[in-house]
Amino acid sequence: MLSAEDMNDLALFVAKGQVDVAKYVDAATKKPKGDAARARPIVNTLCAACHGKDGKKLKGTHRRSARWPTMPPRWLHKILNGQPGEAMPALRALDPQISADIALHLQALPK
């Protein structure tokens, strides 16, 4: 059973939280549509403390994997919504375009 608060959160997500991934990820190339350079200061401020500037600092279920290039929609979702059960916060306060910029920046990091 969901609590009343959980039901309200779920209803809000369904009503307003959906993101059209096609606006932010090219289906043919599986590449985020964004500006990696614009994301660099955001990544260095919000993400690097846990993930490192190279994206390799954390180990666990949400670290960058060899499958990264094929999974931008999934990673865009994780940037926007966080990682359940882990310390990674949702970045919903950011415009989805910034999340796509972050995904593109991360995709460009050396493996």
Tokens of 32: 């985020």
Number of domains making up the chain: 1
To which residue do tokens 């865009």 refer? 76
pLDDT exceeds cutoff 80 at 111: no
Q: In this predicted model, what pLDDT tens digit does every residue of 77-93 receive, in sequence order? A: 888 888 878 888 888 88
- Looking at the domain assignment, is residue 49 inside a domain? yes
**Does a structural domain hold residue 81?**
yes
- Does residue 12 lie within any of the structural domains? no
Read off the pTM.
Answer: 0.75
Task: Say yes or no to pLDDT of 66 above 70.
Answer: no
In a domain, 4, yes or no: no
Buried b (16+ CB within 10 A) or exposed e, 23-58: ebbeeeeebbbbebeebbebbeebbeeebeeebeeb
Q: List the single range of 9-13, 42-46, 98-102 with lowest mean pLDDT.
A: 9-13
The answer to the question of residue 17 being in a domain is: no
Amino acid at 51: H
